[in-house]
Structure 1
């Protein structure tokens, strides 16, 4: 039963983060609409990265929000059939996610540094805005992955102790 409690806690955390991502994505959508109406070149440069951020926030936030309840139900049904099978499946999934989050954090940080370097190399306001937008995009991705990884770690350690 301990597995189901921890799975539910982890999934509800992901659902909450998905809802927050959807709200932030909606705010970014409002910001993009306002930027479209402005005449400032620096802000116009941020449109492409902000649009990508909106797709990421709304897409992945929606995925988390709408699929994690089904995940709880699936784990519960497998757990009722075979406890070890449920633990093995969850461990494999958590291990894959743990490895992905561990590998992506340095990538996002490196991309932030590269975009920051490009900001200082670019001369026009539009390109500087583009670089600033990518800094924001990569920072958002870093924050999302860090939060997901932080919440996954106790669950992964619990599954590791079962194995």
Structure 2
């Protein structure tokens, strides 16, 4: 398989992930409304806004992935055909730039997860528990998504590094 096919596969993986994140966000928003509408306890009703905020964040993230990656899928063949070596170098730089964010994301969401647990355990009002649940949901979902995204990016980067120029 050539390097461009790997690039295409990587983008398709990002598109799949974007769809999953978008669907998860929509489901989270639906659940927020259901907890509010069907729930009979103050804790269930308090989930409305925290889950809506989390859901809208996931919808935004998934939507942005579905917006930006098809553009790449359309632009990359032309750029690759014009100069494969320059394309690979540009991709290496792009991947190096965004993979630096994975550790930061892990630490930020670890802190948010701890905050979620603390809020859930120690803020005895329904809104505190609801915010804690929403933070934990966001943390777990982000870890799942980023784990596979980081794995795909690392594999792709290794393939880019092993590319032999066509000089």
Same structural fold, with TM-score higher than 0.5 when normalized by the shorter chain:
yes
Unaligned runs of 5+ in 2: none
Per-residue deviation at 1:160? 2.3
> Partner of 1:6 in structure 2?
6
**RMSD of the alignment, in Å?**
1.9
> Partner of 1:28 in structure 2?
28
TM-score by length of 2: 0.86
TM-score by length of 1: 0.88
Which stretch shifts more, 141-150 or 151-160?
Answer: 141-150
**3-state SS in 2 of match to 1:30:** helix
Q: Quick check: 1:105–1:146 contact (8 Å CA) kept in 2?
A: no
Per-residue deviation at 1:62? 1.7
Which stretch shifts more, 125-134 or 80-89?
Answer: 125-134
For 1:46 and 1:151, how far apart are their aligned partners in 2?
Answer: 34
CA deviation string 1:122-162 (max 9, x = no partner): 12233122212211122222222222112211001111223
Per-residue deviation at 1:7? 0.6
Q: Quick check: 1:105–1:142 contact (8 Å CA) kept in 2?
A: yes
- Aligned pair count? 163
For 1:53 and 1:90, how far apart are their aligned partners in 2?
Answer: 31
Unaligned runs of 5+ in 1: none
> Partner of 2:48 in structure 1?
47
Q: Quick check: 1:112–1:134 contact (8 Å CA) kept in 2?
A: yes
Which structure features the higher share of helix residues? 1
